[in-house]
Structure 1
């Protein structure tokens, strides 16, 4: 009788284990991933890149259950300018007027929830820029081992107010729009 009980317990344990999905961490390749930014102003726009420092998805099968990504703010690069203009814009974006990279060298995105619909995930997370954390929601597309999204961020929510018409009057054609976009492509 004791042997039969043991066999039944073992069978239930093995059966339960076969239906339990274990969460795994999928590291993102910083070498094959990319982030391109676009910032707009009344008189035009600027574009550039910024580096992913590290990141991972927590996965259960094909479902994203979490994740965390760190962005190297000191890597801000403007790709539509050259020479002194390029250096001046990059320096200004890294200064306390914008992202204050000396005090805040990284930005962070933490995924708190994800709902899969086909090859798309509706993702909710917390984005930290400088000292401020705000919730964000976006759609993330998956194609094999690649994930992509375009994330629109309101910089004024993160105390990045320089040239913002939301905080300063009479800026005219010096106004810089609050929203900027990140075109994100991640590879695992």
Structure 2
């Protein structure tokens, strides 16, 4: 009995003495330092602009970004390529309406990271991780996978990259040839692009 009990006690003591795994640290997203750009195209033209982050965080463990979530205010959307105030107001009004984002009923869009997987052998200036996460737009959630550059340095956690989104999967079908065959050159492409740069601090 002693021969069995003594090794068991040693093993238990070793577990008790082992350092606890490092907990995740929350780095709060800095809206004033973070940017979110968008670009959408139609058959005959296109627009680009910005939307504003309102909050979120990046989760850091062992000096590595391992998770996080962001929130975006859809009422802040604007087209930076449109300089005329009246045209800008008309554009924003259309994008905020039910044809597109329905911002009055759905003012916030969110993204929550499910996993981050390092890209082996990535160059110092290249995307170094694959992010999988759930994006919610207009009350509809879809899972997305895209490359990004993530890192932690001097108390700052950051994530930047580009993701291509099929708007029709979120119910934004206006002007889509996938649903309206007869619209010809008035069609708006289903895919739009988001360029993000998230900066977070402890």
TM-score relative to the length of structure 2: 0.83
CA contact (8 A) 1:38 1:48 kept: yes
User: Paired residue for 2:69?
Assistant: 68
CA contact (8 A) 1:63 1:116 kept: no
Shift of 1:63: 3.1
In the alignment, structure 1 residue 133 sits paired with structure 2 residue 141: yes
User: Paired residue for 1:104?
Assistant: 106
Shift of 1:178: 0.5
Distance across 1 between alignment mates of 2:136 and 2:17:
42
Structure 1 residues 110 and 149: alpha-carbon distance in aligned structure 2, compared to 1, 3 A threshold: same
Task: Work out the number of aligned pairs and report it.
Answer: 181
What RMSD, in angstroms, separates the aligned Cα atoms of the two structures? 2.0
Structure 1 unpaired stretches of 5+ = 1-7
Matching residue within 123, 145, 163 for 2:131 = 123
CA contact (8 A) 1:126 1:133 kept: yes
User: Paired residue for 1:162?
Assistant: 174
CA contact (8 A) 2:65 2:150 kept: no
Please list the CA deviations of residues 87-125 of structure 1 after superposition, one character each: whole Å capped at 9, or x if unmatched.
111110000010000000001101011112356121101
- What SS does structure 1 have at the residue aligned with 2:92? helix
- What SS does structure 1 have at the residue aligned with 2:39? strand
Distance across 1 between alignment mates of 2:62 and 2:108:
30
- What SS does structure 2 have at the residue aligned with 1:96? coil
What is the correspondence of 1:9-158 to structure 2 with a 5 Å cutoff?
12-17=15-20, 20-82=21-83, 83-117=85-119, 120-142=128-150, 144=153, 145-158=157-170
Shift of 1:151: 0.9
Structure 2 unpaired stretches of 5+ = 1-10
CA contact (8 A) 1:140 1:147 kept: yes
Distance across 2 between alignment mates of 1:90 and 1:116:
38
